[in-house]
Structure 1
Amino acid sequence: MSFSKVPLRLAATVVVLAVTACGSEAKPRTADAEVATLQSAPAASAAPSATGVGAVIRPDASSADIQDLERVYFTCLRDNGAPSSKDGLSKPGQPSPAPEKVRAANAACADKQPVSWLDVERRTNPEFPDLLRAAAKCLKKKGFQARVVQEPEWRLAYRDSGEFMRAGDTEAKCIDQAFAARIKTYR
Structure 2
Amino acid sequence: MLNLFRRTAVLTSVGAAGLLLLTACGGVGGDDDAGKGGDGEVASLTTPAADGGSASASADPDAGRPQIRLDSTNEEVNRLYDAWLACLKDHGAAEKYKRKPNDPSVLACKGKEPLNPPELDPSKNPDYSDDVREMVQCMKSHGIKALVYEGNWALETGDEMNRPHYDEYELQCQVKAFGEDK
Tell me the TM-score normalised to structure 2 length: 0.49
Tell me the TM-score normalised to structure 1 length: 0.48
